[in-house]
Amino acid sequence: MLNILLVDDDSEFSEVVCHIVEFLGHNIDTAANLAEAQEWFVNNTFDHVFLDFMLPDGSGLHLVDHLESIGQTPKITLISGHPSVKGKLAEMCAPNVGHLVKPLQREDIERVLNPKKNTEKKKSKPSVNKHFGTLIGESPVMQQLYTMIERVASTNANVMLMGESGAGKEVVAQAIHNASQCAGPLVATNCGALSKELIGSELFGHEKGAFTGAIARKEGVFEQAATGTLFLDEVTEMPIDMQPNLLRVLESKKVTRVGGNKELPVDCRVISATNRSLTDLAQNNIIREDIYFRLAVFPIDIPALRDRKEDIPLLAKAFLEQLNDENGTDFKWQTSQLKELESYDWPGNVRELRHAIHRAFIMSDPKGKSITLPPNLESPFSRVNKQTQANQVSAGQTIEEVEKELIHATLDKVQGNKTLAAQMLGISTKTLYNRLNAYGGIGEYS
C-alpha cells in the first residue's frame, strides 16, 4: 500500500481518481494547488505524488523544486493535459520524475504505481468461444440449449430454468437477457434468501411508512427490471402463502407496492430458476400449479456437467485464462490434467469445477508454468459414494440376483449373524438357510 498525494485543481477529476486509487488499495490525499500541496508535506511524507503541470498558483515543477529543497524524494508523476508538454517533461529526465498525459487510463495509474509489473500485459484474446457472451461449451446438449435460448429470446415468454445446483442457471438467465437485446437491465433476486416479512417489499416495493422501518419508498424488483429481465432464483423456495401475490402480478401484469394504492404496469420478462426436479415440484406441493404454468411458459433444462463431459476441457481453459488475466500469470493445462478433470463426475457442476480450478491455481507454484491439481478432487458433497452406488438396483437384474445381493449385504452388515440377518430381512432363519443353500454361498457365513 502506498501513500499518494494528488495535486490537481479539478476537484471533480480528483474525486474520481481518488475512488480508483483507493480501489487499487492505496491511500490518497488531494491538494488543489501548490500551497496546499506544500502544506501536506510539512507533517507528512508520501511515496508517490501525482502532480498536475498547470496549477492556479504556478507550475507543478515548482513543487518538484520545493521537495528537493526540503529533502523529500517521493516518486513524482507529472500529469499534463497538453501533449506538447510531454517533450519538456522528458527533457528533465530526473530519475524519480515520470509523466503521464491526460486523459489518464487506469492502466497508466497502475503502471506507475507498480513499476515492477511493467511487462507489457498483452490482453490475450480469450481462445474459448462464449455463446451469448456468457456460455461455454460445444457439446450437443449445449447446442440444443443455445437453440432454445435463441428461440425464446425473440419472444417475451416467461422462462423457467431447471438444473442442478451449480449448473449455471444464472449464467443462462444472463444469456437469455443478452440474446433478447432488451433495453432494460437484468435484475436478479434470490427468493430463498429473503425472509417471509421482506419478500413482499423486495418483489413489489413499498411506500414510505408502509411498515416499521420503511423509512423511504423502495422500488420492487419488478419495477427495477422494467423493459428488462427479472431473474427469480430459487423461486420454489418462496413461501407458498406468498405465491398468490406473485401470481396476481404475473396474471394482471400490474404491481402494487406494499402500502401503496397505485397499480404500476409491469413490463419485464420473468426468468425463474429452481434446482428441484419436476416430480419433486409436483409431488411435494412446493409450488402452486397455477404459478408453475405462469412461470414455466417455456421450461429449459440445463444439463449437468457430467452429461457434457466433453465441455470440461473448454471450461477449464476458460477459467484458467481468466485467472491468468487477473493475476498476470501464465499457467497452462497439461493434457493429462484435462483428462483427469474430465474423468471426475462433478456433482457440484460448473461451480465446483470453477472452484476446484481456483484452488489449484492458488496452490500452484507462482513461478512455474504448470498448474498443480490436488491428488483428490472429491469434495465433501461428492456423490461418488461407491458403496451406495454398488447397492443400487438397475433394470435388467433378476429378482434372484437382487435378493442374493440383499442377503449378502445384510449378512455383511451383521458380521454373518444369520438370526439377526433373518430378522432384518423379515424372513425366518430357515428361509435364509434355504436361500443361502440355493446360491451355494452358505460356506462363506458358516
Partner 1 sequence: MSNNETLRTLVHDARAPLNRISMNAELIKLVLENDMPKEKALAALDKIIANCQQCSESLQDISDLNSTE
Please give the residue ranges that form the binding site for partner 1 (CB under 8 A): 10, 12-13, 16-17, 19-20, 23, 81-82, 102-106
By C-beta, is 105 or 284 nearer to partner 1?
A: 105
Please state, in angstroms and as integers, the Cα–Cα distance from residue 18 to each residue in 52, 82, 98, 105, 368, following that order. Answer: 15, 22, 19, 13, 36
Q: What is the β-pairing status of strands 229-233 and 186-190?
A: parallel
Nearest-approach distance from CB 364 to partner 1, in angstroms: 23
The Cβ of residue 54 has, within 10 Å, a number of other Cβ atoms equal to: 14
By C-beta, is 20 or 171 nearer to partner 1?
A: 20
Nearest-approach distance from CB 78 to partner 1, in angstroms: 15
CB 391 within 8 A of CB 405: yes
3-state secondary structure 232-256: EECHHHCCHHHHHHHHHHHHHCEEE
Nearest-approach distance from CB 61 to partner 1, in angstroms: 18
Give the integer Cα–Cα distance in Å for 132 and 379.
31
Rg (CA), the chain: 32
Please state, in angstroms and as integers, the Cα–Cα distance from residue 428 to each residue in 6, 415, 433, 444, 446, following that order. Answer: 89, 18, 9, 19, 17
By C-beta, is 50 or 132 nearer to partner 1?
A: 50
Q: Residue 319, Cα to own-chain centre: how many angstroms?
A: 12
Nearest-approach distance from CB 52 to partner 1, in angstroms: 10
Quote the crossing angle between the two packed helices 169-180 and 140-153, to the nearest 10°: 50
For residue 258, the cross-strand partners are 206
By C-beta, is 190 or 337 nearer to partner 1?
A: 190
Grid cell at residue 228: 428488462
By C-beta, is 328 or 368 nearer to partner 1?
A: 328
By C-beta, is 11 or 388 nearer to partner 1?
A: 11
By C-beta, is 19 or 208 nearer to partner 1?
A: 19
By C-beta, is 103 or 375 nearer to partner 1?
A: 103
Q: What is the β-pairing status of strands 54-55 and 58-59?
A: antiparallel
By C-beta, is 17 or 373 nearer to partner 1?
A: 17
By C-beta, is 82 or 196 nearer to partner 1?
A: 82
Nearest-approach distance from CB 109 to partner 1, in angstroms: 8
Give the integer Cα–Cα distance in Å for 79 and 51.
6
CB 371 within 8 A of CB 320: yes
User: Is residue 70 classed exposed, middle or buried when 0-12, 13-18 and 19+ CB atoms within 10 A define those classes?
Assistant: exposed
Nearest-approach distance from CB 13 to partner 1, in angstroms: 5
Nearest-approach distance from CB 100 to partner 1, in angstroms: 11
Q: Which of 220, 209, 282 is nearest to 246 (CA)?
A: 220
Give the integer Cα–Cα distance in Å for 437 and 419.
16
Nearest-approach distance from CB 24 to partner 1, in angstroms: 9
Nearest-approach distance from CB 48 to partner 1, in angstroms: 17
CB 90 within 8 A of CB 99: yes
Nearest-approach distance from CB 83 to partner 1, in angstroms: 10
